[in-house]
């Protein structure tokens, strides 16, 4: 009777999907690099309105890219993001009136915006 006990243990539950797993998305796992050219920022705050989880207007009136690496004396901010954040980051970049937010495909280096 105890021989079968181990067979019933921990079967993966079929039909139950983990929340953010996109089974059919061939590009899942792609990474992108956001490059923010801070000196050109005029503090219009469009980015912060669109994606407050990434953009914040700070004391000098310009935006900061939350969690980004600060390069070249804080003039360039760089942040790697996942596929899941690409759409909102693209919206923020497109909303910026002075186009100082850019996004590159991390693997190919191709600039998306
Ligand atoms: S939208 Fe552009 S100009 Fe406005 S705060 Fe953001 S980065 Fe700066």
The CATH code of the domain that includes 81 is 3.30.70.20
Q: Is 51 in the pocket of ligand 1 (CB under 6 A)?
A: no
Question: Which percentage of the chain shows pLDDT scores above 70?
Answer: 75
Residue 13 inside a domain? The answer is: no
Cβ(98) – ligand 1 distance below 6 Å: yes
The residues, any chain, with a CB within 8 Å of residue 19's CB and separated by 6 or more, are none
Number of domains in the chain: 1
pLDDT at 49 over 60: yes
User: Does any domain span residue 10?
Assistant: no
Instruction: Check pLDDT > 60 for residue 2.
Output: no
Domain of residue 50: give its range.
29-113
pTM of the entire predicted model: 0.77
What distance in Å separates the CA atoms of residue 66 and residue 40, rounded to the nearest whole number? Answer: 17
Average pLDDT of the residues in 82-105? 98
pLDDT at position 30 over 80: yes
Across 1-15, 29-43, 62-76, least confident range: 1-15
pLDDT given at position 46: 98
Residue 79 lies in a domain: yes
Is the pLDDT assigned to residue 10 strictly greater than 90? no
Residue 87 located in a structural domain:
yes
Paired sense of beta strands 101-105 and 76-82, if any? unpaired
Residue 7 lies in a domain: no
Nearest-CA neighbor of 95 among 55, 63, 47?
47
Residue 94 pLDDT more than 80?
Answer: yes
CB 63 within 8 A of CB 48: yes
6 within a domain of the structure (yes/no): no
User: 93 in ligand 1 pocket by Cβ < 6 Å?
Assistant: no
Q: What is the pLDDT of residue 29?
A: 87
Give the residue whose CA is nearest to atom 7 of ligand 1. Answer: 41
Asked if residue 63 belongs to a domain, the reply is yes
Whether 24 is in a domain gets the answer: no
């Amino acid at each position: 009777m105890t021989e079968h006990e181990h067979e019933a243990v921990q079967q993966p539950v079929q039909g139950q999907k983990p929340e953010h797993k996109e089974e059919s998305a061939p590009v899942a796992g792609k990474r992108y690099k956001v490059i923010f050219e801070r000196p050109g920022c005029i503090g219009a705050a469009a980015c912060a309105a669109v994606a407050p989880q990434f953009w914040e207007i700070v004391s000098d009136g310009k935006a900061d890219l939350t969690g980004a690496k600060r390069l070249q004396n804080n003039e360039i901010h760089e942040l790697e993001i996942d596929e899941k954040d690409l759409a909102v980051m693209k919206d923020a970049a497109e909303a910026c009136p002075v186009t100082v937010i850019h996004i590159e495909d991390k693997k190919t280096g191709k600039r998306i915006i």
